[in-house]
Chain A
Amino acid sequence: MSLLSVDNLQISFSTRNGISTAVNGISFTVEKNQITAIIGESGSGKSVSCYAMLGLIPSPPGRIDGGTALFEGKDLLSLSEDELRKIRGRDIAMIFQDPMTCLNPFMTIGDQLIEPLRLHKNMGKADAKARAIELLDEVGMRSPAQCFSCYPHEFSGGMRQRVMIAMALINEPKLLIADEPTTALDVTIQAQILRLIADLQNSHDIGVLLISHDLAVVADIADQIIVMERGNLVEKGEPKAIFENAQHPYTQKLLDAIPSAERASQEGASDPLIEISSLRTWFYSDNSQEPVKAVDDVSLTINRGEILGLVGESGSGKSTLGRSILRLAPITDGTITFDGTDLTQLSGAALKGFRRRMQMIFQDPFASLNPRMTVFDTLAEPLLLHNIVDRKGLDNAIQRLMDDVGLARNFVRKYPHEFSGGQRQRIAIGRALATQPEFIVADEPVSALDVTIQAQILELLQDLGREHGLTMLFVSHDLAVIRQIADHIAVMYHGKLVERGTAAEIFGSPQDPYTQRLLASIPGKKSLAEPISA
């Protein structure tokens, strides 16, 4: 018998505009000692399904319209809140996406850890503490006895996720539901946490239901994959079958979206557009004497027409480097030569002239557009500011931009909040292109987007880059994305540039130990190493 068998689960939400179906009759099973992964984009209903089974969706507005979810012979959906509560945290435990917000900041780690034990097993305080420390050790916390009396804010995201995992496992549950457990983490940490979950699943002999938006992430550890799209279950099967022989077009789209194919490197003549030499961008904070060395002694050349991928984890200084080139961050020391002119010496009108020639695309398309300006106004601003067109030519120029970025022309009178994330990013790209720049810094332009949208935006950037002869600095934490778009790759770590080379060199024979570690963390290597027939 399956550990959990869900049959024809239906969930809807009542909104102001009527009832919307979130989950539309899905059926699947989770086996003991297996990892079952549910894959889907935001809004696909993957999380809602799991939360609903445990009575964790707010209701109203949420409502379970039908179906059964048999767990050890009991239908979770028909249990009372009291009965469900006895199962939650004892037989079924959960870990969540963002470890930074999922631990109570006002309680010590220890108090939170022993809570399930004391609640469900009535265990004494001393015994519970011993058990908690044992588990903290098992999930790889250093000096677990000390951790016990620490507060969450004293730990990094990865460490907190380990605490969450320990807390979930403390009652030896039979089923662990992990909702995007690695999405908020850096890529090297992500690999460690996934490994940990897989190992613990094995040693504790439990079933795991792993929710993720990223097919590559789950590919290595899942025994079974379920693909959801807009409330429907569109495909399920073993990873090998999914990767090699996906039936449903949506699954194929997801597979295509996994950035995999290496770009053919354009070995052009080296014709530097930007030369950075010994650049330092240090931030001085009020209370500490020691400055934060966001960018520390970096020298780098970007050739005309190339796409240089800049990789690093959060805090590595990669974004600050991009901002420094555009003079958006205060430069402490060093020079940046753009087409023969030292940007660090410019100000006022001279700088404004150069601003026209280099533009930026930001990470968060929800924050990078002024919410009170229409698309038309947003695009018109740079056009008029730099006298690229006059008032008469404005309409035409804006329509051309809309065409360029693949947005319908009649959207120009709309406001940013009326668009989806991908569409907003297109608007932001349009704004950057409006000044007809030679150089663009793209700072994590796809990391806030769903995977299939990511693929579209990457393709758009590549096409536009070719069409307009753009030079691009593409900043990302995601090696898979970089691999798809970049000709050359630079790797940053703790404010320093640790390695630079062609994409083939970096991926083929990384020299620096950090780069090697980074490459080893790329999710989905095992599955992706095998040929994919899409």
Chain B
Amino acid sequence: MNTLADTASPDSADTGSSLWQDAWIRLRRNKPAVGGAYVLLFLIVISLLTPWIAPYDYEVQNLDLGASPPSAQHWLGTDVFGRDLLTQIMYGGRVSLMVGFIATAVALLIGVTWGAVAGYVGGRLDAAMMRIVDILYALPFMIFIVLLMVVFGRNILLLFLAIGAVEWLTMARIMRSQVQSLRQQEFVEAAISLGLSQSAIIRRHVVPNALGPIIVYTTLTIPSVMLLEAFLSFLGLGIQPPKTSWGLLISFGAETMEEYPWLLIFPGLALTVTLFSLNFLGDGLRDALDVRGSKD
């Protein structure tokens, strides 16, 4: 019998590199994505530590000082009540990031479960489940969220749920198309013909291969959720004082930008940089994990 007759052979090393490792290497080569990841990590750490490291107390006003431009005492200046803007941005970032992560988690949970069940079970159940998604998709959700906020007051929990409820639809579609295409893959057929149970097939063969697109889409959902929150807060329909968020800070900044432009520019910068980082990271992950168009 011939041994190793094929000419092409893998590298001589005894251990191979998995697709995850390859993706990791590709991601590390992508400078914007790595930069984005660092910025994001920095922001998360700052947000977690804010109550301890914030330079001033969040609520303390200094009406004598009023709005002051950036200075040695107040690096980013103060607002019309004399409150330190850096402190405001740090606390606002906590809220903005939290909304981004939690609402995305809600969307992830519902969407992945819904899509996986529909995709794997197939048949009538699939048709019915996706029909629901289609109908919900056609609903003008932005308007609905505004409506919800108006009717039920500006409840932050409701905000999570409402945003999460919008974003899960796309997640469900992606997951379903992933599972469907994986189901038809020959390696899944091979697993069936080996006699593997359904749950083992899903666990060992389907889920690990569907993870890539889910990771990418999750990364890209967070910024769009944060944008949505900022949008609502700007209109006065999201986060309410005394709580604050970047959207709310931008809204206040816009009102007084003629006299105190820094009140608009710094919160805007914080939001833009965060969205930039998340988008760069998401795009980098998409390239690294080789995820193609996520439409079905």
* Contact A362 to B190, CB < 8 A, known contacts A381-B204, A408-B3, A413-B16: yes
Q: Which residue of B lies closest to A361 (CB)?
A: B190
**A422 to B16 alpha-carbon distance, docked (Å):** 18
A202 at the interface (CB under 8 A from B): no
- The answer on a CB contact under 8 Å between B19 and A417 is yes
User: In the complex, how many angstroms separate the beta carbon of A412 from the nearest chain B beta carbon?
Assistant: 8
Q: A413-B16, A415-B19 are in contact. Are A407 and B194 (CB under 8 A)?
A: no
Q: Say which residue of B5, B19, B193 sits within 8 Å of A359 (CB atoms).
A: B193
B14 at the interface (CB under 8 A from A): yes
B125 contacts the other chain (CB 8 A): no
Smallest Cβ-Cβ distance to B200: which chain A residue:
A385
Shortest Cβ gap from A253 to chain B (Å): 11
Residues of A within 8 A of B62 (CB): none
Inter-chain contact A418/B195, CB cutoff 8 Å: no
Q: How far is the CA of A407 from the CA of B10 in the complex (A)?
A: 11
What string of 1s and 0s marks CB contacts (under 8 Å) between A376-405 and chain B?
Answer: 000001100110000000000000000000
Beta-carbon nearest neighbor of A414 in chain B: B16
List of B residues within 8 angstroms of A351 by Cβ: 195
The answer to whether A364 and B186 have CB atoms under 8 Å apart is yes
CA A362 to CA B83, docked complex, whole Å? 69
Tell me if B10 and A381 are in contact (CB < 8 A): no
Contact indicator B16/A360 (Cβ below 8 Å): no
Q: A414 to nearest B CB, angstroms?
A: 3
Return B107 CB to nearest CB of chain A, in Å.
Answer: 25
Interchain CB contact under 8 A, B3 and A355: no
Contact A370 B187 (CB under 8 A): yes
Check A381–B194 contact: CB distance below 8 A: yes
On whether the beta carbons of B189 and A362 are closer than 8 Å, the reply is yes
Report the interface size for chain B: residues with CB under 8 A from the other chain.
34
List residues of chain B with CB within 8 A of the CB of A370. 187, 191, 204-205, 208-209
Determine the distance from Cα of A359 to Cα of B6 in the docked complex, in whole angstroms.
24
Nearest neighbor of B212 in chain A, beta-carbon distance: A372
User: Contact: B5 with A406, CB < 8 Å?
Assistant: yes
Task: Determine if B187 and A415 form an interchain contact, defined as CB atoms under 8 angstroms apart.
Answer: no
Interface residues of A in 419-465 (CB under 8 A from B): 419-420, 422-423, 428, 431, 435, 453, 456, 459-460, 463
Is A459 a contact partner of B196 (Cβ separation < 8 A)? no
On whether the beta carbons of B194 and A328 are closer than 8 Å, the reply is no
Residue of B nearest to A424 (CB): B6
Interface: A411 (CB within 8 A): yes
**Does A500 sit at the interface, judged by CB under 8 A?**
no
A78 at the interface (CB under 8 A from B): no
Are B2 and A413 in contact, with the CB atoms below 8 A?
A: no
A142 an interface residue at 8 Å Cβ cutoff? Answer: no
CB of B8 within 8 A of chain A? yes
| Neighbouring B residues of A385 by C-beta, 8 Å | 194-196
A 345-379 contacts with B by CB, 8 A? 351-353, 355-356, 358-360, 362-364, 367-374
CA distance A360 to B205 in the complex (A): 17
Q: Which residue of the partner chain, among B7, B10, B17, contacts A411 with CB atoms under 8 Å? A: B10
Known contacts A386-B195, A413-B14, A413-B15; A420/B186 CB under 8 A: no
Contacts of B138 in A (CB 8 A): none
Task: List A contacts of B15 (CB < 8 A).
Answer: 413-414
Q: Which of B10, B11, B18, B190 contacts A372 (CB 8 A)?
A: B18
Nearest residue, chain A, Cβ from B206: A370
A372-B19, A406-B4, A415-B19 known; A431 and B190 CB under 8 Å? Answer: yes
Residue among B6, B17, B189, B191 making CB contact with A423, cutoff 8 Å: B6
Question: Are the CB atoms of B195 and A352 closer together than 8 Å?
Answer: yes
In the complex, A315→B126 CA distance in Å? 27
Q: Is residue A326 contacting chain B, with contact meaning CB distance below 8 A?
A: yes
Contact present for A456 and B2 (CB under 8 Å): yes
- Residues of A within 8 Å of B191, CB to CB, are 370, 381
Write out the residue numbers on chain B whose beta carbons fall within 8 Å of the beta carbon of A419: 8, 10
Indicate if the CB atoms of B209 and A418 lie closer than 8 Å: no
Whether, in the assembled complex, A289 has its beta carbon less than 8 Å from a beta carbon of chain B, the answer is no
- Does residue B256 face the partner (Cβ distance < 8 Å to A)? no
Is A368 a contact of B190 with CB atoms below 8 Å?
Answer: yes
Within the complex, which residue of A359, A386, A410, A415 is in contact with B17, where a contact is CB–CB below 8 Å? A415
Residues of B within 8 A of A326 (CB): 193
Known: A408-B3, A417-B19. A367 touches B187 (CB 8 A): yes
Task: Select from chain A the residue with minimum beta-carbon distance to B190.
Answer: A368
User: In the complex, A355 Cα to B193 Cα: how many Å?
Assistant: 6
B10, A355: Cβ atoms under 8 Å? no
Q: Which of A358, A407, A418 contacts B11 (CB 8 A)?
A: A418
Q: How many Å from the CB of A168 to the closest CB on chain B?
A: 32
Q: Which of A362, A418, A423 has the most CB of B within 10 A?
A: A418
Q: What residue of chain B has the Cβ atom nearest to residue A43's Cβ?
A: B8
- How many angstroms between the C-alpha atoms of A352 and B193 in the bound complex? 9
Q: What are the residues of chain B within 8 A of A369 when measuring CB–CB?
A: 187, 190
B135 within 8 A of partner (CB):
no
Most buried by A among B3, B6, B16, B195: B6
Q: Which residue of A lies closest to B205 (CB)?
A: A370
Interface hits, A302-324 → B, CB 8 Å: 323
Would B194 and A418 count as touching, CB distance under 8 A? no
Q: With a CB–CB cut-off of 8 A, which chain B residues contact A431?
A: 190, 194
Which A residues are in CB contact (< 8 Å) with B208? 370, 372
Is the beta-carbon distance between A456 and B5 smaller than 8 angstroms?
A: yes
Q: How far is the CA of A360 from the CA of B192 in the complex (A)?
A: 10
Closest beta carbon of chain B to A43's beta carbon, Å: 9
**Which of A353, A370, A420, A435 has the largest number of chain B CB atoms within 10 A?**
A370
Measured in the bound complex, the distance between the Cα atoms of B189 and A428 in whole Å is 12
In the bound complex, do residue A360 and residue B196 qualify as a contact, i.e. CB atoms below 8 Å apart? Answer: no
Question: A361–B240 Cα gap in the complex (Å)?
Answer: 63
Q: Taking the complex as formed, is B1 at the interface, i.e. its CB lies under 8 A from any CB of chain A? A: yes
> Which residues of chain A (192-251) have a CB below 8 Å from chain B?
none
CA distance A323 to B16 in the complex (A): 32
B224 vs chain A, min Cβ distance (A): 28
The answer to whether A406 touches B3 (Cβ under 8 A) is yes
Bound: A374/B208 CA distance, A: 13
Q: In angstroms, how far is the closest chain B Cβ from the Cβ of A493? A: 25
- Contact string, A6-20, partner B, CB cutoff 8 A, digits 1/0? 000000000000000
List 20 A-B pairs, Cβ < 8 Å.
A326-B193, A328-B192, A360-B190, A362-B186, A367-B187, A368-B186, A368-B187, A368-B190, A369-B190, A372-B19, A372-B20, A381-B191, A386-B195, A406-B5, A408-B4, A415-B18, A419-B10, A420-B8, A459-B2, A460-B1
7 residue pairs, one from A and one from B, having the closest CB atoms: A414-B16, A355-B195, A368-B186, A420-B8, A352-B195, A418-B10, A362-B186
Q: A420-B7, A453-B5 are in contact. List 14 more A-B contacts (CB 8 A).
A: A323-B189, A328-B189, A355-B195, A359-B194, A367-B185, A368-B185, A370-B187, A381-B191, A381-B204, A386-B195, A407-B4, A408-B9, A431-B194, A460-B2
Binding site for A on B (CB under 8 A): 1-11, 14-20, 22, 185-187, 189-196, 204-205, 208-209
